[in-house]
Structure 1
Amino acid sequence: MLKPLLERWLPLPHTASLSERLRACTGAMLGLLLTAACSHWLLGDAAIYLVAPMGASAVLLFCLPASPLAQPWSVIGGNVVSGLVGAACVRWLGPGMASAALASCGAIAAMFALRCLHPPGGAVALTTVIGGPAVHAAGFGFALGPVLLNSAVMVLGAVLYNNLSGRRYPHAQHTPPNPHATRDPLPTGRLGFQPADLDAVLRQYGQVLDVSRDDLEAIIQQTEMRAYQRRFGQIRCASIMSRDVVTVEFGTPLAQAWQLMQHHRVAALPVLNPGRRVIGIVSQGDFLRHSGLDDFTSLPARLRHLLRPSGRSHGDKPEVVGQIMTARPQTAALDTPIVDLVPLMADSGLHHIPVVDEAGRCAGILSQSDLMAALYESRLAEMQQAA
């Protein structure tokens, strides 16, 4: 009886690593030191140079820099407008319990209206009411003086520290896609949830989320990918790749490379250096693109012209594979789950991916056909087991 009650009230374990905790704590300390030093230097000893709600702002800025509640406009706008609301309540109603409650209520409403919701803003409004004679005497100058200065310096410190410590800040809040757009989504976007589905659910949810929309979308997408890996992750590239790979070198003549493609009935050839490391890939599309796709009637003649050696050491006409190949192509390791290659082949348009061993040498090649066959066999085996 007592245990379920306690579990309902106790928080779940957080997922922040030790290094992330140290990063956040150090950032809050440095941010507050910078804010106090700059504000004291500008405002002097006699003035109120550091307000208590900055401690709460530091938690958001350095522990949750991706939160919509921690972005620059939320911090500066939320704190300042809350201070102004609190000063107005003191001027019209005087300090007291009713004024304090109304100040926090009005601050929240103003932050909602101005889209600068920042939880410490409620504390700024309350501090303006109960802060004592010095704060009351400052009036609106309290919000436009120490509160504004503290907030601006704290945000500047967060921009510097978060980016130097590997956290993107400000965290841009991307505009949701137009639900009426007619452009067909990418292949992987037609599977699982789509951005329009997320927008509809968020509208239905109707509450404030302390996570940006793009982060939430990325988390859901990664969760879907993790689920796919659980179903198909046991299939690795080494299990389905073609091992008898036909390869060429940088200096292989174009005619020879084309003949190899036709003879072995392959659509792409990895380009290797003398150490058998992949430096490029040449495909039928590369040949056609350099032959000129704008005139289909003369394409055969253009292709023959491309393949025919010019006999000159210098010229604009490509002579060898290295001049038309795609350099530094996407590769996969032997133990890469094939599910990781689905977005590359479906969305990025890759038809062939070279597979390399631990030393980076070419060990095989994986095509879209190999991938589809493996996923089909895996799904068929799953259905047979279920039956």
Structure 2
Amino acid sequence: MFHTKLEWLNTLKPNFKVLPLKERLLCGIGALLGLMISSFISWYVLGDFNAWYIAPMGASSVLLFAVPASPLAQPWNMIVGNSIAGLIGVTCALYIPNLTEAFSVAVALSIFLMMSTDSLHPPSGAVAITAVLGGNVVHQLGYYFIFYPVLLNSVLLLIFAIVFNRLLGKQYPQIAQVNTRSKDPTPTQKVTIQPQDIQDVLEHQTELLDISEYDLQKIILEAQDKANARMVSDYLCQDIMSKDVICLHAEDDIHEALDKFKRVNLMSLPVVNLENELVGTLALYDIVEWFKRAADPRASWEHLVKQIMDRKVVTVKPSQTIQDLIPYFVEKSFNYIPVVEQQKLVGIVSRADMIAALNQQLNRL
């Protein structure tokens, strides 16, 4: 009987992961320091002003320090959401005499406008109520309430949250995509579940999801069904190639090319002309050799990429199967092969793309 009651209680719990003790303590310490520091600065700026800090910031700190990966905790949501709620709350307080009606309408309108501007932030509902029920001190501020304490508190707490989370090695604010090098999916995503698959599934969801582990598993399973339907027995180059290609231009200065190599951490890059036609490749090795002979008067005229690049380039067409590429990657240790259509560079197939595709084919055997 007791065991049955426990099972029933478990159905009421969210399917959230319980963090280790250290992580839980760090979340609490972050909120403690964030609220203390931003509160002190607000007090210092506003002096003995009675409303120098507002209670909704406590709710915001839960999101910023405990679940910074949540869509509801991102800077846009906090700043825009709190501003909208403050504006609506002050307006309702000024023009709706009945307090119950005023804060009810304020919260309802704030939710609608935050969802319309993709800035939903749950603590903003409390900001709207504070604007209505905050008493004479808040009412006397009028629309200045939006700037202080609302925006002042929000910005200060947000700045500390960014610094604190970065110091812990957490990515905050969240980046828009997994692949930070280009706009393309990662090599693994290209041959399994792509971001577009997940977006297609989300479009059919009627609820606004603040993603939990259970929700993510459900989305991935449905997205996998779509990916399986797309799978073919043989991949073509166009199926796995990266279209957002990092490349050099023939007229680039060699020093500029070296700077790009440093930024992208690659050993070789394709070279195109003004018409985006592939005209060669340049390896970091070629730049090293150029520096070695820089003192030679016969090489003093070389200062552009086109003057030191390799003009003999192995290319493939988008419609070729990836099996045609295997000898180049295996026997000649190519890092990538440009994909060309009508002489224009349309993509590249990298060694990582090939490994991911071949691994996927092995898994289906």
Query: TM class by shorter-chain length?
Result: 0.5 to 0.7
Q: What CA deviation, in whole Å up to 9, does each residue of 1:157-208 have, x standing for no partner?
A: 01111111111111123499xxxx9x9x777445432222111101111332
Give the root-mean-square deviation of aligned CA atoms. 4.1
- CA distance in 2 between partners of 1:350 and 1:115 (Å): 45
Aligned residue type for 2:29: T
Identical counterparts, % of pairs: 38
Q: Is the 1:95–1:129 Cα contact (8 Å) retained in structure 2?
A: no
Tell whether 2:7 aligns with 1:15: no
Match of 1:163 among 138, 162, 166: 166
- CA distance in 2 between partners of 1:166 and 1:57 (Å): 20
Alpha-carbon distance change, 6 to 141 in structure 1, aligned in 2, over 3 angstroms: same
1:280 paired residue number = none
Deviates more, 1:8-17 or 1:156-165: 8-17
2:145 paired residue number = 142
Alpha-carbon distance change, 128 to 7 in structure 1, aligned in 2, over 3 angstroms: same
Count of residues in correspondence between the two structures: 237
- CA distance in 1 between partners of 2:178 and 2:88 (Å): 30
Indicate the SS of the match to 2:158. Answer: helix
Aligned residue type for 2:204: Q
Shift of 1:63: 1.1
Q: TM-score if structure 2 supplies the norm length? A: 0.55
Shift of 1:350: 6.1
Shift of 1:211: 4.2
Q: What CA deviation, in whole Å up to 9, does each residue of 1:299-346 have, x standing for no partner?
A: xxxxxxxxxxxxxxxxx9xxxxxxxxxxxxxxxxxxxxxxxxxxxxx9
Match of 1:60 among 46, 58, 63: 63
Match of 2:84 among 78, 81, 90: 81
For residues 264-279 of structure 1, the aligned pairs below 5 Å read none
Tell whether 2:8 aligns with 1:5: yes
Q: Is the 2:43–2:49 Cα contact (8 Å) retained in structure 1?
A: no
- CA distance in 2 between partners of 1:158 and 1:198 (Å): 29
Alpha-carbon distance change, 58 to 187 in structure 1, aligned in 2, over 3 angstroms: closer
Shift of 1:132: 1.5
Shift of 1:31: 0.6
- CA distance in 1 between partners of 2:83 and 2:190 (Å): 44
Tell whether 2:60 aligns with 1:51: no
1:107 paired residue number = 110
Q: TM-score if structure 1 supplies the norm length? A: 0.52
Aligned residue type for 1:17: P
Gaps of 5+ in 2: 225-278, 281-298, 300-324, 332-353
Q: Is the 1:66–1:211 Cα contact (8 Å) retained in structure 2?
A: no
Q: What CA deviation, in whole Å up to 9, does each residue of 1:85-138 have, x standing for no partner?
A: 011001110251111111100111121222211110001001111112211222
Gaps of 5+ in 1: 225-293, 296-315, 317-345, 353-367, 381-387
Q: Is the 1:95–1:130 Cα contact (8 Å) retained in structure 2?
A: no
- CA distance in 2 between partners of 1:32 and 1:81 (Å): 22
Indicate the SS of the match to 1:85. Answer: helix
